[in-house]
Amino acid sequence: MRWRKVFETNEYGKIDRIIWYDQESVIISGQGRRARSLRYADGLEVWQLAATTTNTNSNQDTVAKHCQVIKNRYDPGTIHILSDDLLWSVSSYGEMLWSIEIPIKSTLKNLFLLSTSQYVIVGSLDSNSNQLQVTYYSKQDGQQAFSSSLPWSFNAKDSLNKCSTMNNLILCSNNEELSIITIPTTTDDTNVKTRHIKASSKIEQIRILYESTTRSVILIKSDNGETKIYQFNKKESTSEWDFNELNIQMKSNSFISIATDKNLAGQQILEASANDQKLNFHVSTINEQTLTNTRSYSVELPENMGEIEYLAYSVVKNTQLVTLRMQDGSLLVIKLADNGAELILHRDEALSSIISVETFDLSLSITQMRIEEEFGGTGMFSMFTKRISSQVSQLISFFLRLLDLFTHGNRNRDYLDKQAALVRDEFNLNKILIVVTSVGKVFGILTQSGGILWKNFFPNFAPFEHFNAVHVPLFHIRSAAHYTHEPLASIVYRDRNSLHDTHIRTFNPYTGDLENNLTTSSLPYHVKRVFLSTQAVDEFCKVLLFVDTNNKIHTYPSVPLSRALSTTIPTYIYLFDKSEQAFVGYYLSIDENDQKTSTNLKEVWRVSFQNEEVINIHTRLSSDRVHSAGIVLGDRSVLYKYTNPNLIAVVTEGIDYQKVPFVNIYLLDTVTGSVKLSHTHKRVKSPVHIVLSENWIVYTYYNQRYRRYEAVSSSLFEGEAQYNYSTFSSFDPIEPVIQSKAYILPYGVNAIQVTTTEKGITSRDIIMATPNGMLIEIPWILFDPRRPLDLTPMDREEGLIMYTPEIMVNFESVINYYKYVYNIRGIHTVATGLESTSIVFAYGLDLFFTRVFPSRIFDQLKDDFDFMIIGWSTVAFVVGSFVAKRFASIHQTKKAWK
Amino acid sequence: NISSTTSSVRPVPSRRKWFVDLKPSKQERLTIAAAATANNNDGAVATAANDTASLTSLGFSEQKVADLIPQEDDDRLLARRSWDIALGPLKQLPMNMIFAWMAGNSFSLMSIMIVVMLFQKPIQTIFSLSSAFASLEQEGVGGNIWLLKLVYFLGSLTHLALALYKCQSMGLLPTYNSDWIAFADQQTQMEVTAGGFSYF
């Protein structure tokens, strides 16, 4: 990759249209409010222009904004942009030619933008009179020249979805009919002509394949799969067009792209279709009415990539290149040559859209398994025989390995290395990451190399909606702890076509092979929520529990609920209903002897929000472990932590009666429905990023009043005494004491997460991804809400740091150094076998993986530890002591003789 | 002991415990000389007298010395000695207290060494309890030896108490809840909860 340019994450980074030139391209983004030019050679942004806009209340109606960008065909260096009520023109060398604001009228909506050699034409729909008002603006200075109007039968929404513009034509599909409306281009000719093309069934899509001043090609796709291609030719010296159908045989799933080249006589039309793992291409040349010189190519793909989503055909220096984006997010570049098609580039761009991550431990090595086996038994005799047999087998395998080494040498070294990469290391530092992307491709990634071990594509995949993000449940059905059984992972997703259908796919995380017994596409109920059982059922497998739309709970695979869930500890289920803006808590009572596989849920509590909208729910990590029950104060007394594992954090947003926007944070107990903490922040903007761990919560937001990012940290304590030291129940009458402090962050926040370690002894660090590409590791001590305003000796004894509102970030704490990663959406942390070490995996546009040591390396030797010196000095001491002993005895003997 | 009794019997000039005058005094020499001349005159008698004089060695006294050490006095001394041993640990206590005070409550090599010493000494003395009283038992002090041992033991315990106090003031004793919190088990959960936003 030569260069890359990462755009803003806000609306200004959303690309509306790219206009390609020979040396550079002009990119219009931010709903037509930004124009910039990138040079192909070095990725340099040559110029950038922002639309001059006077209305400042633009952030209120961003949703309704509509933008049209066209390149003037008669003057290719000029680009006209219509952004709602702003019309402006830029030239390709970075000059803003003119910019006008079209007078706003509530009934008038600007829809179409057309251009001729003299005019820029805006078609606006007057919803009062159902007329399309066509206004002509001078191309040179934007002066309004004249306007006319014509009857219009579509409403605004239909016009946007079903119509396209091309030169001076507006094409609108109306069920089985395509209307072609010719807009007159000069003042003297005001005749609006409408012609129709009939299709066999309802028109689904109109696409403009090629557009020039004299010739255009469009594609009409009907919903019965029929595709037709029409060619438009301009009549001489008029503004009217002739059209004729091109007789091209197309499959229903094929894509069309057209390339022009100066060297070519006409246009080349490429038809591409995907068929399993094969891509088929047909290249033809368009003559006046017919197609000639048809040639077919086909290329075998390395994996199933689904359908084609985007196709671009271009001829660069006599090389025919096809660029495709497949359904699985793959970027393909295929070269068509005389000797056939060749795949020259394949990138898994799906990796930039990861939505769920889970980590699996690697499998035990054979020797480790034997050790497990050796100490597995009970009874003296069986253990003894096991020990003998395992040691004999170890000896045999040792000799076999020696033999193999002598006979084969290094021949199967690669294979062995590959096998070794899949075996758990001594400290369980290397793992396998299972990532699910929003396009339905699942990858298995080895952490030590970042190499993709396997990938699986599920074509009918659609993720669940999660507020304004997407979400796919990914579960450990069987963990890697059971060495006799391979681990299993499950994903649950919706069907792309019928969103109420749920699919379950269970696979082996080491190979990606589907486990067909636990894979289904037909659940007889509509799933409202899925979660994992607390207890393993058969062969150490956990089962999935589904709550359906009738508030019934089901198991998959079907087992009695009494086996999937603990019968001694009651289970509570909470669901957030978006339409009601309410959390509802359910109680699940299971009788031990009950063999029912599904049961009804009983509602026990309900928390509903009024005048505020829940924008996020945050739960703690399932791997969160609390090692110490309290904090030791300076006077050696204990402040007990309120570690309630049933707490979730809820973020709500709203506008109060003074029109001030606010954000509320709640800690909700999901067993009782009681609110344990509530904070209100006024003049604060989401997104709110939350870390909830142990007895504390840290969240960040943007403060609009001071224009800075802030973090709030709160801790919950039981107090000086513990209510019950052995058990915790949400029903215990504990009123937690809350301490809070707010801090100013030096950077913005894209995602935050807390480090995880195996036992939770190691202190916590907060990992923060910033918009400028850094991943910062900040010790939680800096966020400690108990940081005092004036430091007493007792606080110093406790190790507290004096409170300063700013959190200072050392550049040493940037864990990715200069390997900046952008648009990070999430961070995943996992514990390793070493208590000091936590694994950090950040994903977003880029992926980053590292290990962090929040309390330094206290359980392993440093990298620069000199084994040689220690080894040799030990040897020297042993030898020296023997020598000294001998000398001492000689000396003693001599002394005795004196 | 014997020298002291001798001195008590025959007072001698100060600074000398005892002495034998090997040089005959002038008077004795005169008597010997007179005897010799007399021997010349009438030999037999003089020789006999000379014999008696030369037979008695110097410092020899015909007079029998009485054994003046009384039995009660011996017992008193033995008791004093045994109490000396028994109260030995107690007598060292003030010194150790000064040591402990000098060491301070901060952690340094010195203070740690002193704490170790404070513990080591009384434990050593307790273990050497029987050997400390072994000489007394040989001399046949029966009776109140148990009392003595008890006093000795209690004295050592005061040392231990001092050592513990020192540890306490240095904060080395796990007497607070906070010292045990790391060993506390995790609370078991009485409820299990699951859920989230609903998909539909």
Question: With an 8 Å Cβ cutoff, are A466 and B197 in contact?
Answer: yes
Going across the sheet that includes A613-619, the strands are A613-619, A647-655, A661-669, A675-682
Question: Identity (one letter) of the amino acid at A828?
Answer: H
Q: Which residue range forms the structural domain that includes residue A321?
A: 247-348
- pLDDT tens-place string over residues A66-96: 788 888 888 888 899 888 778 889 988 888 8
Which pair of structure tokens corresponds to residue A221? 């796709």
The domain ranges of chain B are 71-173
Confidence at residue A197, expressed as pLDDT on a 0 to 100 scale: 82
Measured CA to CA, the distance from residue A777 to residue A829 in angstroms comes to 12
| End residue of a domain, out of A378, A395, A421 | A421
Confidence at residue B6, expressed as pLDDT on a 0 to 100 scale: 43
Q: Confirm whether A559 is domain-assigned.
A: no
Point out the residue among A526, A528, A728 whose CB comes nearest to the CB of B190: A728
Q: Is the same domain home to A344 and A369?
A: no
- pLDDT tens-place string over residues B170-190: 888 888 888 888 888 888 888
Confidence at residue A253, expressed as pLDDT on a 0 to 100 scale: 74
Q: How confident is the model at residue B3 (pLDDT cuts 50, 70, 90)?
A: very low
Residues of B in contact with A629 (CB under 8 A): 181, 184, 186-187
Residues on B contacting A at a C-beta cutoff of 8 Å: 171, 176-179, 181-182, 184-200
- pLDDT tens-place string over residues A656-709: 899 999 999 999 999 999 999 999 999 998 889 999 998 999 999 999 999 999
Question: Is the separation of the CB atoms in A764 and A753 below 8 Å?
Answer: no
Percent of chain A's residues with pLDDT above 90: 32
Confidence at residue A286, expressed as pLDDT on a 0 to 100 scale: 77
Q: Assess whether pLDDT exceeds 90 at residue A437.
A: yes
Q: What is the mean pLDDT of residues A598-616?
A: 90
Q: What is the mean pLDDT of residues A212-237?
A: 81
Confidence at residue A94, expressed as pLDDT on a 0 to 100 scale: 86
- pLDDT tens-place string over residues A573-601: 999 988 889 999 999 878 777 778 888 88
Q: What are phi and psi of A249, to 5 degrees?
A: -85, 120
Question: Is the separation of the CB atoms in A145 and A173 below 8 Å?
Answer: no
Q: What is the mean pLDDT of residues B91-110?
A: 87
Q: How confident is the model at residue B71 (pLDDT cuts 50, 70, 90)?
A: low
Q: Is the same domain home to A264 and A317?
A: yes
Q: Confirm whether A71 is domain-assigned.
A: no
Question: Is the separation of the CB atoms in A444 and A452 below 8 Å?
Answer: yes
Q: How confident is the model at residue A652 (pLDDT cuts 50, 70, 90)?
A: very high
Percent of chain A's residues with pLDDT above 70: 95
- pLDDT tens-place string over residues A389-431: 888 888 888 888 888 777 776 666 666 666 677 788 888 889 9
- CA-closest candidate to residue A530, choices A505, A560, A496, A562: A505
Measured CA to CA, the distance from residue A458 to residue A305 in angstroms comes to 9
Helices (runs of H) and strands (runs of E) counted in chain B: 8, 2
Q: Is the same domain home to A298 and A331?
A: yes
User: For residue A323, how many other CB atoms are within 10 A of its CB?
Assistant: 15
Question: Is the separation of the CB atoms in A6 and A15 below 8 Å?
Answer: no
Confidence at residue A103, expressed as pLDDT on a 0 to 100 scale: 77
- For chain A, the domain total comes to 3
**Chain A residue with minimal CA distance to B199?**
A528
Residues of B in contact with A726 (CB under 8 A): 185, 187-188
| End residue of a domain, out of A386, A402, A421 | A421
Q: Is the same domain home to A331 and A373?
A: no
Q: What are phi and psi of A866, to 5 degrees?
A: -95, 95
**Chain A residue with minimal CA distance to B182?**
A628
Point out the residue among B176, B194, B199 whose CB comes nearest to the CB of A573: B194
Angle in degrees, CA A449, A454, A459, rounded to 5: 135
Q: What is the DSSP letter of A197?
A: E
**Chain A residue with minimal CA distance to B174?**
A636
Residues of A in contact with B106 (CB under 8 A): none
The residues, any chain, with a CB within 8 Å of residue A834's CB and separated by 6 or more, are A427, A428, A429, A758, A859, A860
Q: What is the mean pLDDT of residues A497-517?
A: 88
What mean pLDDT is reported for chain B?
Answer: 76
* A732 three-class SS: coil
Give the position of tokens 């809840």: B177
- pLDDT tens-place string over residues A94-138: 888 888 888 777 777 777 888 888 888 888 888 777 788 888 888
Q: A7-21, A770-784, B61-75, B127-141 — which is least confidently predicted? A: B61-75
- pLDDT tens-place string over residues B31-43: 877 776 766 665 5
Q: A869-883, B34-48, B132-146 — which is least confidently predicted? A: B34-48
Q: Assess whether pLDDT exceeds 50 at residue A386.
A: yes
Point out the residue among A464, A630, A646 whose CB comes nearest to the CB of B193: A646
**Chain B residue with minimal CA distance to A535?**
B192
* A726 interfacial to chain B (CB closer than 8 Å): yes
Measured CA to CA, the distance from residue A133 to residue A114 in angstroms comes to 13
Q: A542-556, A759-773, A842-856, B32-46 — which is least confidently predicted? A: B32-46
Residues of B in contact with A546 (CB under 8 A): none
Q: How confident is the model at residue B1 (pLDDT cuts 50, 70, 90)?
A: very low
Q: A420-424, A735-739, A817-821 — which is least confidently predicted? A: A420-424
User: For residue A874, how many other CB atoms are within 10 A of its CB?
Assistant: 10
Q: Assess whether pLDDT exceeds 90 at residue A784.
A: yes
How far is C-alpha A228 from the geometric centre of its chain's CA atoms?
A: 37
What mean pLDDT is reported for chain A?
Answer: 86
Q: Is the same domain home to A316 and A409?
A: no
| pTM strictly above 0.80 | yes
**DSSP codes, A831-873:** E-SSTT-EEEEEEESSEEEEEE-TT-S-SS--TT--HHHHHHH
Q: Confirm whether A440 is domain-assigned.
A: no
Confidence at residue A410, expressed as pLDDT on a 0 to 100 scale: 61
- Going by DSSP bridges, is the β-strand pair A775-779/A765-769 parallel, antiparallel, or unpaired? antiparallel
Q: Confirm whether A410 is domain-assigned.
A: yes
Q: How confident is the model at residue B51 (pLDDT cuts 50, 70, 90)?
A: low
Q: Assess whether pLDDT exceeds 80 at residue A433.
A: yes
Confidence at residue A63, expressed as pLDDT on a 0 to 100 scale: 46
Q: What is the mean pLDDT of residues A140-148?
A: 83
Confidence at residue B128, expressed as pLDDT on a 0 to 100 scale: 85
Q: Is the same domain home to A318 and A410?
A: no
Residues of B in contact with A622 (CB under 8 A): none
Q: What is the mean pLDDT of residues A375-401?
A: 80
**DSSP codes, A764-823:** PEEEEE-TTS-EEEEEGGGG-TT--SS--HHHHHHT-----SB----GGGBTTTT----S
Q: Is the same domain home to A306 and A280?
A: yes
Confidence at residue A61, expressed as pLDDT on a 0 to 100 scale: 46
Confidence at residue B67, expressed as pLDDT on a 0 to 100 scale: 64
Q: Confirm whether A54 is domain-assigned.
A: no
Q: Assess whether pLDDT exceeds 50 at residue A60.
A: no
Of A684-698, B16-30, B51-65, where does the model show the most confidence? Answer: A684-698
Q: What is the mean pLDDT of residues B24-50?
A: 65
Question: With an 8 Å Cβ cutoff, are B198 and A526 in contact?
Answer: no
β-strand partners of A363: A423
Point out the residue among A617, A633, A726 whose CB comes nearest to the CB of B197: A617
Measured CA to CA, the distance from residue A628 to residue A638 in angstroms comes to 11
- CA-closest candidate to residue A747, choices A772, A721, A781, A718: A772
| End residue of a domain, out of A387, A421, A455 | A421
Q: How confident is the model at residue B145 (pLDDT cuts 50, 70, 90)?
A: confident
Question: Is the separation of the CB atoms in A680 and A630 below 8 Å?
Answer: no
- Across the A/B interface, how many CB contacts are shorter than 8 Å? 119
Confidence at residue B76, expressed as pLDDT on a 0 to 100 scale: 81
* A731 interfacial to chain B (CB closer than 8 Å): yes
User: For residue A68, how many other CB atoms are within 10 A of its CB?
Assistant: 23
Closest-CA distance, B172 to chain A, in angstroms, reads 12
Question: Is the separation of the CB atoms in A745 and A711 below 8 Å?
Answer: yes
Confidence at residue A62, expressed as pLDDT on a 0 to 100 scale: 45
Q: Confirm whether A723 is domain-assigned.
A: no
Q: How confident is the model at residue A55 (pLDDT cuts 50, 70, 90)?
A: low
Give the position of tokens 């074509």: A459
β-strand partners of A271: A256, A282
Q: How confident is the model at residue B54 (pLDDT cuts 50, 70, 90)?
A: low
Question: Is the separation of the CB atoms in A173 and A180 below 8 Å?
Answer: no
Q: What is the DSSP letter of B25?
A: P
Has the ipTM of the complex gone over 0.95? no
Closest-CA distance, B173 to chain A, in angstroms, reads 12
Q: How confident is the model at residue A515 (pLDDT cuts 50, 70, 90)?
A: confident
User: On the CB side of A307, how many CA atoms lie within 13 Å of its CA?
Assistant: 10
Point out the residue among A630, A638, A671 whose CB comes nearest to the CB of B193: A671
Point out the residue among B176, B184, B188 whose CB comes nearest to the CB of A629: B184
